[in-house]
Structure formats: C-alpha cells, structure tokens
Amino acid sequence: MPRGTRVILVTGGAGFIGSNFVLDWLAAERTPVVNLDKLTYAGNLENLAGLKNDARHTFVKGDINDRALVAKLLREHRPQAVVNFAAESHVDRSIHGPADFVQTNIMGTFSLLEEARAYWSNLKEAEKSDFRFLHASTDEVYGSLGANDPAFTETTPYAPNSPYAASKAASDHLVRSYHHTYGLPVVTTNCSNNYGPYQFPEKLIPLMVVNAAKRKPLPVYGDGKNVRDWLYVGDHCEAVRLALKRGRPGETYNIGGNAEKTNLEVVNALCAILDEIRPQPHITHHSSLITHVQDRPGHDRRYAMDAGKLRSELGWMPREQFDTGLKKTVQWYLDHMAWVDGVVSGAYRSWIDLNYGRRERA
C-alpha cells in the first residue's frame, strides 16, 4: 500500500469474527487493513481468500506478545486505530488448558497496550486525539444471570466464571486502566454469542450443523436449558465499526442480538432447517441425533445483553433476525464443507476426543 496512507491494525483478523470484520471493513471503507494474526488452530487464511488481489489488505503472521514486531508494525504503518480481536476464545478449551488464555488474552493485550501507548504518545496532537484502541470483549465477563434477572448493562459488576471469561475480564480492566491512567483513547465492546460464516466448528452452532450433516450425535451439555443471546456476526462487525468511528474514548458498549435462546431451542431450530433443506435417508428428524452429555463444569446458566447505550448513542440495531440468520448460516456450512474439512485437522480430532471422549451421556 502507498506510504503515508492511513490504515488500521487489526489483530486476530484470520479468526471467525476478525476475518468477517476485515472483509466487512474493506467492503465498506477505503482505509486499508494491516492484519496481525498468529494463525493458531482457530486462524485460517482461507477465510480471507477473497482479498488475495486486494492491495488494501496486508497480512502479517505473528503474535501480539511479540512486542518488537508490534512496535515495528506501528512504526512502519502508523495506524489510526488498533482493533484487538486476537484471543483464545473457547470456554471448553480454557477449562482443559487455561495457560494459553492467560498468555494471549491478558499478557498479549498488555503487550499491545504498552506498544500502542508508546506509539500514541509520540503522535502529533490531532492524530493523538483521533487514535483509537478498540478492544473486542464478551458478555461472559459479567457472569451468569438468573431466569428473571434484567440483562447485563455496561455498569453490571464483572463476575467472570470460566478461565476464558476471567482472562477477558482481566484484559478489559487493563484496557480501562490505560485510559484512566495514561489517557489512551480506548473503546471496549462487550458482545454476546456470535454465529455466522467461518466460525470454527468447535462452537455450538457450526459443531451441530457439521455433526448433523454427517449424522453424528449432537452433544447437548446438561439439560440444554442454558440461555445465550445470539447475534449474527455481520451485525457485530457493523457495531464495532460504529464504535470505532463514533464511540466515546474510555467508554464501553454492550452489543447483543436481543435473541435469547436455550441451547435446545438453537439445536432444534437448526435441525428443523436441515430437515427442510437437506433431508437425509433414514433420518426423519435431525433432532433425533440430540444426545444429552455431561455438563460443562461451571456452566453459566444465562447471558442477556442490554444494548440500549449503543442504540441511543450510535443508532445501532441488529439487522438480522435469528431465524433468517440461522438459516443463512446452516446453508453456508452445507455449501462450504470443503472449508470445514480443511480446518478439521488431526489436532481437531484430538480436541474432540479430549472434550467429548470422557463426557458420559447424561
């Protein structure tokens, strides 16, 4: 890209939300993207294949903990913003191995903040006030709700319950402190469960679609009545874009789909879609594949987001309805089984054995 062009630095832009964000950003904006991603099991350059001939996208393989690399990227590209999606993101993996979550989510965010602060403090005044550090976080930092509790707001006290949620909460606190202590213009977004294209098939919706298409059991944890709020990933990307442009420095914004569903409702809904669009011999109802298995330890019962602040300050509302978004998503996975087979490596099979092998039927 030409020298002197303003850019944004996106981290984790080869993962599920990050790659959707980069694709969405470059479709909507002129500003180029430098994309820093370690390409862990969850990162996949195939997600960005559509950008092969787009000079506005520069991919750099690397770790957000590599401070020399981050400093070099900031020095050379002089971004007007850092958007941090890089993370270990799967709760079940954080239960089996929390160390990577501490390393990337906490230490990695700390490294990025330190380098961003050093870069930002040497900018000219106008550039300094325009700069943003946007940190993408989760609703899971707020803990678990009872059935009749009001939805989480930006002032709900943090009460993370899994190592994943705790590591994200710690990173949110660091981000907050860099604003209050050093004046770094940060914006934090806390979003509910996303679904859509390019989600690694270890998460509920893609795992269930892929298993059902292959006539494998659909492993629902516990009684299946845990509630999540679901948001189509494109709506999340739009909310982050808005928060980046017009969010107030130092503020946090909740993002949610206003679509609370129990896990059983989600799985039954995607089974009904499969019954309709991909009937299979000898399976009248895909829901007959549902198998209740041993629950996740410390499984949060309910999440719900109040996104009123984002709506009133920035005018954001989700565009996608859950039923239409889910149908599009199921169809996307059926149409992209080659992508699924590409990410389902030997390492994926070991993960399935580790997470599900010792989980007894409930």
- Are 109 and 185 in contact by the 8 Å Cβ rule? The answer is no
What number of chain residues touch ligand NAD (CB under 6 A)? 30
- Catalytic choice (139, 172, 229, 235): 139
- Give which of ligand TYD, ligand NAD, none residue 228 binds (C-beta under 5 to 8 Å, depending on kind): ligand TYD
Counting contacts by CB under 6 A, is residue 41 touching ligand TYD?
no
Q: Which pair of tokens denotes residue 283?
A: 């399976």
Q: Which pair of tokens denotes residue 307?
A: 């996104």
Q: What is residue 78's three-state secondary structure?
A: coil
Counting contacts by CB under 6 A, is residue 189 touching ligand TYD?
no
Interface characters, 269-298, with ligand TYD (x: CB under 6 A): ---------------------------x--
In 3D space, the residue among 220, 329, 321, 318 whose CA is nearest the CA of residue 270 turns out to be 329
CA angle 125, 18, 346 (to 5 degrees): 145
Q: How far is it, in rounded angstroms, from Cα 78 to Cα 11?
A: 15
Counting contacts by CB under 6 A, is residue 87 touching ligand NAD?
yes
Counting contacts by CB under 6 A, is residue 160 touching ligand NAD?
no
Catalytic annotation on 139?
Answer: yes
Counting contacts by CB under 6 A, is residue 94 touching ligand NAD?
no
Distance separating the N- and C-terminal Cα atoms of the chain: 55
Q: Smaller CB distance to ligand TYD: residue 224 or 247?
A: 224
Pairing of strands 8-11, 132-138: unpaired
Pairing of strands 227-232, 260-262: antiparallel
Candidates 177-185, 203-211, 241-249, 251-259; binding stretch for ligand TYD (CB under 6 A): 203-211
- Are 269 and 324 in contact by the 8 Å Cβ rule? The answer is no
- Supply φ then ψ for residue 338, to 5 degrees: -70, -40
Counting contacts by CB under 6 A, is residue 203 touching ligand TYD?
yes
- Residue closest to ligand NAD (Cβ): 15
Candidates 50-58, 59-67, 144-152, 261-269; binding stretch for ligand NAD (CB under 6 A): 59-67
- Give which of ligand NAD, ligand TYD, none residue 57 binds (C-beta under 5 to 8 Å, depending on kind): none
Shortest distance, CB of residue 151 to ligand TYD, whole angstroms?
A: 15
CA angle 87, 88, 90 (to 5 degrees): 130
Catalytic annotation on 29?
Answer: no
Q: In 10 A of CB 42, how many CB atoms? A: 23
Shortest distance, CB of residue 221 to ligand TYD, whole angstroms?
A: 4
- Catalytic choice (140, 202, 260, 320): 140
Counting contacts by CB under 6 A, is residue 287 touching ligand NAD?
no
- Give which of ligand TYD, ligand NAD, none residue 18 binds (C-beta under 5 to 8 Å, depending on kind): ligand NAD
Counting contacts by CB under 6 A, is residue 40 touching ligand NAD?
yes
In 3D space, the residue among 130, 8, 177 whose CA is nearest the CA of residue 77 turns out to be 8
Counting contacts by CB under 6 A, is residue 220 touching ligand TYD?
yes
Q: How far is it, in rounded angstroms, from Cα 212 to Cα 207?
A: 8
Counting contacts by CB under 6 A, is residue 226 touching ligand TYD?
yes
- Give which of ligand TYD, ligand NAD, none residue 221 binds (C-beta under 5 to 8 Å, depending on kind): ligand TYD
Q: How far is it, in rounded angstroms, from Cα 229 to Cα 218?
A: 20
Counting contacts by CB under 6 A, is residue 138 touching ligand NAD?
yes
- Are 290 and 218 in contact by the 8 Å Cβ rule? The answer is yes
Residue 87 is classified by DSSP as S
Residues with a known catalytic role: 139-140, 164
Q: List residues near ligand TYD by CB under 6 A.
A: 91, 193, 203-204, 207, 219-221, 226, 228, 263, 296
